[in-house]
Structure 1
């Protein structure tokens, strides 16, 4: 595991980075309301884009499943901000959430959308070390 520096934290989300690896880890600390989810997601997305952090680990184990309206917002409003950028997303989930995860919608959107599927990759993991290895193994070549 690479060393991470705490960039910011509040009661809902913790953001840690390693700029040498263009790596950011976002950890949801508790389930947010729709408004907080959108606000925090926009903040760390702009941070990642501004700092060219293209290896993104999102730990959603404490976030809980997103409402459909928030999933749609993520796919159709937030995700286009990464258009024309080479990025890798790894989602860290718990085994309990494996069958109901909203991350599948995002993963499917990436794989089926020609605007993204050539320069954006996403995977779902149960183990943080595996997620980080996948990001850095592939992501270093972006």
Structure 2
């Protein structure tokens, strides 16, 4: 049976951020921590070794695969900062048009630094992602 690697754990979020090598990326991580905490109302938790997540939901796919994941989150990685929003949300692409300099994959939106993006749009993306997942996966 497939074992999910990215699980919520009790590792220290602050300790993780303090170990980010790049001082500017560390500073951005602290700002993101504040933005995500204030916007979601959830306490930051580590998910796996490198994702800072907020809230959680339980998903179950038609294939039978199920698990838990953060509603939203971020990770200050070496190359870029990864932002995690809901996949499948039809409003996401529209919001990203006004987001600023970024690239996006299936589950992640990647930014180089916080100064490249519109913080108000970030807050809207966070709120929309939480709302979408709570509506898609009720009874949390």
Bigger Rg, which one: 2
More helix by share: 1
The question of a shared fold, defined as TM-score above 0.5 by the shorter chain, is answered with no
TM normalised by structure 1 equals 0.29
TM-score, normalised via structure 2 length:
0.29
